Structure 1
């Protein structure tokens, strides 16, 4: 993707992005970052990158080091320069881009309310899948009517149910401003649904369960969380995994950004695939980053966005050939708590 095509995509995403030149001057900011900072950055190009940060000098020095070493890096909980004395901080990912740097800014905030929209990236994804889903559902209905045997009819029904779930999710994102449909969620039911889907694969993996039966219901959007689990499992299979372990645990005192969760659910998807390539580990969750030539690079980016929408986080807890762990953290406190 050339820079012009990249900018066209970046104009539409809700993630704050900026380009910095070789002299650490701002070349460009996308609308999401301009709106987030509220500083009227029409005249930002040409200004030092440090104007974005509360501690401009320290930020410039650290950015110069990243540029000199040509290595991606992550800054955690960096105070931003915002007007009116407001306090705002963000996780900032920096990576070499041409002769300068690309900045990806994830503002740390309280969990979004039920009325908060998800990003334009996810809404765009919803738009793209609607037509294929309709065709998929229609084909499954024809199969269900024509095949004999309860097993084959049940598989066709599984396809119809998944098409309906994704279609409803896409419609909510497109026509109701992306509002999450929050309610009680039994995480083990979602995992068992995932198992049903994986066992319907032509060459299903071996599946192992390691559940904590004491886990109570969560408060969240079941369809979106189901999509996160499905994305993680699909990524594992595409990395050559033949065995998946699905594990749930309760943890206390988990830090998510600037928040400390008193109690959180950790859902691990453990696989025996090829692992995450070393060159991608620092940019793994960024949009359009993929280790496969035919990959879209959207699955993990969207999954992390859904996790953060729920006040949680998605992390790669470790990866080596034969053993990779992705961990989804979700708060167990209700929003009013």
Structure 2
């Protein structure tokens, strides 16, 4: 690899290829990568690899890759050029025996920005729900002020908190395409909050917990992830489940859409209901599909959209007496 003649195989490739030295300075790039960088192949020589991996955390991973025995992958990261299509790329980094780093760069097809029918439906629903939520919150506030029983005051406070959460969700759906508010999320805290909400209902289910307490926080929108879990739980109860089990696990090499995450957090909502009807199994996550005459068909569709918005996935397995809906979320972000 050290000689120019050894690099001839990479010259005609559409895939970007480069060599960097032990200080992560470019020694050579092929024409495809030079075009992506909008720089001449000769001009690239001697420049820092930061012209390609322009975030400090990506450069830190490149330094680590120099000493790893196997290739390291960065998936779906931002391309360095100011591209109008919001271009992204996958980068493979492999250490060589002479101390250099071999990089392969695959430019990804731009994402389609068209609004999905579900998103349009949800924004319409968000608009309709805001006024009833305000009335609900006001009534709960009046009750909270007039009640002497501390347990009843606590229940009224729960109604207020849920009304505020749903109003915030509605506002974010109506503004700026519903952009998520991302931050560290302790999934077990959300499951405990979910349990409190379910136990406050008139006919609460039995609830069991099977947690892996060693799991770290995930990066996400806490309110939206709670909405996913709430939709899964309520869907199970409305289908006839009497007992729910909330289980958390780490899932290695999980396929999330078109990529494989090195490690994912899996949250299982397990119920003892009759199972998903055979006729709905292929279309269960589609908008306006419901197994109940009074169902809206939006709950599971919304849950899947939120899961994918977080880079995750929603799947299920069902048989009479045991249905498992699994929410997969990537642990760590920016690379696999």
Q: What TM-score comes out, normalization by structure 1 length?
A: 0.64
- CA distance change for structure 1 residues 230 and 192 in 2, over 3 Å: closer, same or farther? same
Other structure's SS at 1:119 match: helix
- Equivalent in the alignment of 1:334: 333
- Equivalent in the alignment of 1:149: 149
Distance 1:110 1:196 in 2: 42
Distance 1:303 1:193 in 2: 17
Other structure's SS at 1:203 match: coil
Query: Is 1:133 matched up with 2:133?
Result: yes
Is 1:268–1:328's contact at 8 Å kept on the other side of the alignment?
yes
Shift of 1:335: 3.3
Distance 1:215 1:260 in 2: 19
Query: Is 1:119 matched up with 2:148?
Result: no
Shift of 1:111: 9.6
Distance 1:127 1:139 in 2: 20
Gaps of 5+ in 2: 1-86, 89-107
- Equivalent in the alignment of 1:69: none
Shift of 1:205: 0.8
Alignment of structure 1 residues 295-310 onto 2, 5 Å: 295-310=295-310
- Equivalent in the alignment of 1:199: 199
Shift of 1:135: 1.4
- Equivalent in the alignment of 1:287: 287
Shift of 1:262: 0.6
Q: Deviations over 1:141-172 (max 9, x none)?
A: 11111222110000000000000011111112
Is 1:110–1:311's contact at 8 Å kept on the other side of the alignment?
no
Shift of 1:132: 1.5
Alignment of structure 1 residues 1-337 onto 2, 5 Å: 119-316=119-316, 318-335=317-334
Shift of 1:112: 11
Distance 1:293 1:160 in 2: 30
Distance 2:289 2:269 in 1: 20
Distance 1:172 1:236 in 2: 27
Distance 1:335 1:124 in 2: 33
Shift of 1:125: 2.5
Is 2:257–2:312's contact at 8 Å kept on the other side of the alignment?
no
Number of aligned residue pairs: give it: 227
Distance 1:110 1:184 in 2: 28
- Equivalent in the alignment of 1:66: none
Shift of 1:136: 1.1
Larger radius of gyration: 2
Distance 1:280 1:159 in 2: 33
- CA distance change for structure 1 residues 163 and 111 in 2, over 3 Å: closer, same or farther? farther
- CA distance change for structure 1 residues 159 and 336 in 2, over 3 Å: closer, same or farther? same
Distance 1:335 1:258 in 2: 15
Distance 2:239 2:274 in 1: 6
Distance 1:259 1:194 in 2: 30
What do you get for the CA RMSD once the two structures are aligned? Answer: 2.3
Distance 1:235 1:173 in 2: 22
Gaps of 5+ in 1: 1-85, 88-107
